Chain A
Amino acid sequence: MTYVVTESCIRCKYTDCVDVCPVDCFREGPNFLVIDPDECIDCAVCVPECPVNAIYAEDDVPSDQQAFIKLNADLSSSWTSITKSKSGLPDADEWKDVKNKLDQLVK
């Protein structure tokens, strides 16, 4: 199994999750983070850290977010590791409650 970052993270990227990951399995893109499923140890420590509740266990990913399981796996192979938090994106607060923003994802 693995944990999966879903849509809420897009254009927010608060990065709180990154600090607590014991195995540094987060990968960073321009406006989204993903979890490398080959590195994640399913500890769930990151889940409550996310201010926009973007992280789910693979088995609990909501039905309208299923595409993110493959997106996390695919993007983690090309994006680079992020191991320390930084400021969220400048307009993160404006995007945090926006739904259906997959079209905003920059790969």
Chain B
Amino acid sequence: MLHSPTQTDAVIIGAGPVGLFQVFELGLLEIKAHVIDSLPEAGGQCIELYPDKPIYDIPAIPVCTGRELTENLLQQIKPFGAQFHLGQEVTRLEKQSDGRFLISTSKDQHFLSKTVFIAGGVGAFQPRTLNLDGIEAFVGKQVFYSVKNPEQFSGKKIVICGGGDAALDWALHFVDKAASVTLIHRRDDFKAAPASIAKMRELCKNKQMQLLIGQITHYQVEHDQISKITVTDIESKEHLISVDDLLIFFGLSPKLGPIADWGLDIDRKQVAVDTEKFQTSTPGIYAVGDINIYPGKKKLILSGFHEAALAAFAAAAYLNPEKHIQLQYTTTSTKLHKVLGVSPPTFE
């Protein structure tokens, strides 16, 4: 059943740096926004792909990490009280007869918004899945891409796949709780905390868990349950392993999924916009940051910031066609000081 939708002036799809700065630019124009993102926290690629890597090309910030950039943006947009709806993907975007847009998410949230800002970057981050025919039927039963209730795996024969921190951390967690723990990774090269890797190797040496370098290539089903898996190692040797549950931690990868179905002009799988308003082929829907395309487009965070500013002004005019939208400066405008919740500067 459709819950009654949240009514708003603006919905921003994507909580990466550009989506966050879109909140700021809309906020200065007194437009409140709801922000939706598939990740459980704000930051987009900055948080998911390079939280600790230095970024050198943010104007006036000689160097900062992806995480610092995100934290600074979150602090900067605080006065505007945007509401975040994280851990959910936008599944549907449809224009309604009254001109507003109905936005639905994978958590069954619905919004009726007058404007939409697609700041979806290179797509919604989703868990990379196990690539075996028919395995989907076992997801949530014996195949898990996240651990919600660790107790359910106690006393079970578990197989953990992956080479990052999540795989290692859960392997170490379950080693004395599960009946057996087998860690499977494609290469003997782990991208995890060195201490966890050392601990895992020690546990393998003591035969408290086992590590297999290879990939799951088959699974056997008995009485509608996965009973065994075949792991093919790098020398094409097959290993048969009994299993109760499979925990898969292949990390997340962005997928440009549903945007293609939203009826917008798409160019090379990206959303075509003009460079005056950064508006898509549907008036009222704007696209900013890595997801848009226009002549000369450069996928830079700073370009996204510029796009967000112009899209905000365009949206303000769209929302209030009769009103003249004046450009004001945060240095001098008492109105903007009020909006930002700061006291006006005093001049000696």
Interface residues of A (CB under 8 A from B): 14, 19-23, 38-39, 41-45, 48, 51, 84-88, 90
Contact = CB atoms under 8 A, between A and B. Distances in A.
Contacts, number: 55
Interface residues of B, number: 27
Contacts of B343: none
Nearest to B268: A41
Nearest to B235: A90
Nearest to B163: A16
A23 B269 contact: yes
Nearest to A86: B215
Of all A-B residue pairs in the complex, the 6 with the closest CB atoms, nearest first, are: A84-B131, A22-B123, A43-B122, A22-B122, A22-B254, A20-B253
Tell me if B's interface is mostly helix, strand, loop or mixed.
loop
12 contacts: A19-B128, A22-B254, A38-B268, A41-B270, A43-B122, A44-B299, A45-B254, A48-B49, A51-B189, A85-B186, A87-B234, A88-B187
Interface string B199-243: 000000000000000110000000000000000101110000000
A61 B268 CA distance: 22
Contacts of A88: 186-187, 234
A20 B191 CA distance: 15
A90 B254 contact: no
A72 to B, nearest CB: 16
Nearest to B298: A42
Contacts of B215: 86-87
A17 B69 CA distance: 26
B254 to A, nearest CB: 4
A55 B189 CA distance: 20
B49 A45 contact: yes
